[in-house]
Structure 1
């Protein structure tokens, strides 16, 4: 095999490996959040964990059913493998701004910390927090953060010094988010502007 062909094959394999890792991470985090969201804080004792236990049993049953189907019809493994490869390829798609190094970065990682705090405070409103998926949808609705995933937004916010919690409960749903109590304090300049 010629060297250019080997290099191209290595790039494809690397992209699929990175994508597989991303798909696995996202799916496992989403399923774990779904199981945790079943917890009922309004109950006491063993009833508080009944929801997560039922959801975990449902996931186990679904896994068992898929395994039984694949054993009964091995051709289904090809469909599952193809679906996984497609998802991995899409997940590892390079962001549009990776090619253009000269363009300024958009979104929270390049933004002024006060602007990030104001954006988050506005999205939180009177709720206990805001999910990162809602922040990402807000940004992408304004043409920012195109091609980003929640994990990338999380790392960018953390780089800005904004703490991200694994489980923020908003409207009965638990997911990664920023809690109202964790919002950074306004800078002295912004506090002075407000007082004036």
Structure 2
């Protein structure tokens, strides 16, 4: 894979992560204004008002950009920087810098070989595995808490594992990893298995 293609994949993956974070933030901000002490439409008035505020802010941004087209370059640069940072691979320094107050989030699995082995085990003799099944397995084993399928997909793609939009398993079609797309095992792992 060329450096340009890796950079494009990193920006694509980061864009999905940033969009998901922004959507979660907006939903949480709107949800926070729900009134439990009221009933009916009065209880939902706060989230409705906040949703209108968000929509209004979007319209204002569109009008300002339409009046000053050069601002689109600033917004695009900001988005690209955020996407690049969001998809940055975790380094050992990041792990050491994490505060002790936050609960530790285990990585997906340590390295491509472990990812490949996990996926191969979950696929078994089937044509593939759905990402929802992979996520459920990870969460059963204490990993991926709070993740959604889109975040798992982004993380797999960032590690170079191709994800298909339509993988058919047990008569159901969903996002998943097909058996044919699994990364080949490294020569060292193949030798270990043969021994």
Q: CA deviation at 1:141?
A: 2.4
* Corresponding residue of 2:40: 45
Counterpart selection for 1:140 from 72, 79, 99: 99
CA RMSD of aligned residues (A): 3.6
In the alignment, the residues of structure 2 paired with residue 158 and residue 17 of structure 1 have an alpha-carbon distance, to the nearest angstrom, of: 29
TM-score by length of 1: 0.51
Counterpart selection for 2:142 from 160, 163, 182: 160
Q: CA deviation at 1:164?
A: 5.7
In the alignment, the residues of structure 2 paired with residue 162 and residue 19 of structure 1 have an alpha-carbon distance, to the nearest angstrom, of: 17
In the alignment, the residues of structure 2 paired with residue 147 and residue 73 of structure 1 have an alpha-carbon distance, to the nearest angstrom, of: 44
Equivalences, count: 117
In the alignment, the residues of structure 1 paired with residue 9 and residue 34 of structure 2 have an alpha-carbon distance, to the nearest angstrom, of: 39
The answer as to whether partners of 2:11 and 2:87 remain within 8 angstroms in 1 is yes
1:100-111 to structure 2, matched below 5 A, reads none
TM-score by length of 2: 0.51
Q: Where do 5+ consecutive residues of structure 2 fail to align?
A: 108-134, 149-195
* Corresponding residue of 1:18: 13
1:33-182 to structure 2, matched below 5 A, reads 33-97=28-92, 140-141=99-100, 145=104, 159-160=141-142
